[in-house]
Structure 1
């Protein structure tokens, strides 16, 4: 789907519509249920165990999101595919993420924001949604003057017993979307993405649209009877960002 001057052009053969939105207290409920109740990143290890054992971790997560939004601003993105929640990322300065200091490859660089976790629902994997989420984060942080994103990856994701992994995204995911290792570790390396690199990407959908539509002008797209004329590259991406 291509949005031009508030009009919508449906692209034949497009597998699904995709929409990126900010994480807010309203959209928090659209996180996958296990993630909605998880406070692995939001609390230090002791407080996290205490909340899961005797408290309501969902309320703790809501309180963290609310405080971070008030004190710092947007701290997450959700992607919807055909109207269904399909994945999310969460990010914040390390000072807002108590768990960040518990990793053997900490601390996060002072010029970077920490990408805490990333998740794409299994039925939507392989469609470029992970890259779309990270690119959305990069656009947001670039506007706010941030130079880089860093993350702790799990080099043994899927190899350990259930309950020992899942909140830390796999190293392979970060490498696939442009991150580079800055501090190696056999289990939890720290990776970094320079935002000027991320902003040079073309998303999978944008690239497909460029190949399909070529240099046709918006008028020719919306009114196929008109002759095609050359125009500048579309300034709007193939998805909408709120």
Structure 2
């Protein structure tokens, strides 16, 4: 696609994340903090986290830009950098994998670009797989904005439905369920080689219905 660039996520590029994922810190709040009152959205805290992960491990994701506009992003990191990674019933994430925290895009072609960019990035760090906690087709915690859902308590899983990627979207792009669960299944994408994964993802995306917007998840 003409004019497209894939930008590593860092403290300097957090502001480029798509809404409502920009500033979401639900994954960064440990269980004790989650039960207490406090900010569940903080761009400065998200920026600090991205900077810390970048220094200690590498960029925790990618942002896809087209003509100066963000069209997709993917955020992922080792579970050691994600305080809430161990909360879901299907935890823990495998030791050889990173956890996909957010995958948001305008269309399937941009989803592909974000995932391919993330795969290329993490393969260089000897990561063998990307894992994610699945969720419903619509994630109220991400889509509610300033509406009634914004007042929901940020308690341990499964309620409310926050920061999960729709299971159907994950399976459509090549992830497979490795631990079944009615609300928080854990899925995995094995990274055999960048080329093989790219072919698998492309083939899966071609089977999807025509171009459509994917619900952001974080979120």
TM range (shorter): 0.7 to 0.9
Structure 2 residue 103 is the aligned partner of structure 1 residue 83: no
Change (3 A) 1:160 1:80: closer
Q: Secondary structure at the match of 2:100?
A: strand
Answer with 1 or 2: which has the greater Rg.
1
Q: Secondary structure at the match of 2:10?
A: coil
Separation in 2, partners of 1:29, 1:59? 10
Deviant stretches of 4+, over 6 Å: none
Aligned to 2:208: none
Separation in 1, partners of 2:190, 2:47? 30
Equivalent in 184, 188, 202 of residue 184 of structure 2:
188
Structure 2 residue 155 is the aligned partner of structure 1 residue 169: no
- Matches for 1:110-129 after TM superposition, within 5 Å: 110-120=95-105, 124-126=106-108, 128-129=109-110
TM-score under structure 1 normalisation?
A: 0.68
Offset at 1:83?
2.3
Equivalent in 157, 166, 170 of residue 137 of structure 2:
157
Separation in 2, partners of 1:142, 1:187? 29
Structure 2 residue 26 is the aligned partner of structure 1 residue 44: no
Structure 2 gaps, min length 5: 150-159, 203-219
TM-score under structure 2 normalisation?
A: 0.75
Aligned to 1:24: 10
Aligned CA-pair RMSD: 2.4
Describe the superposition over 1:75-108 as per-residue Cα deviations: whole angstroms up to 9, x where unpaired.
0100112321111111111111111111010000
Aligned to 1:147: 128
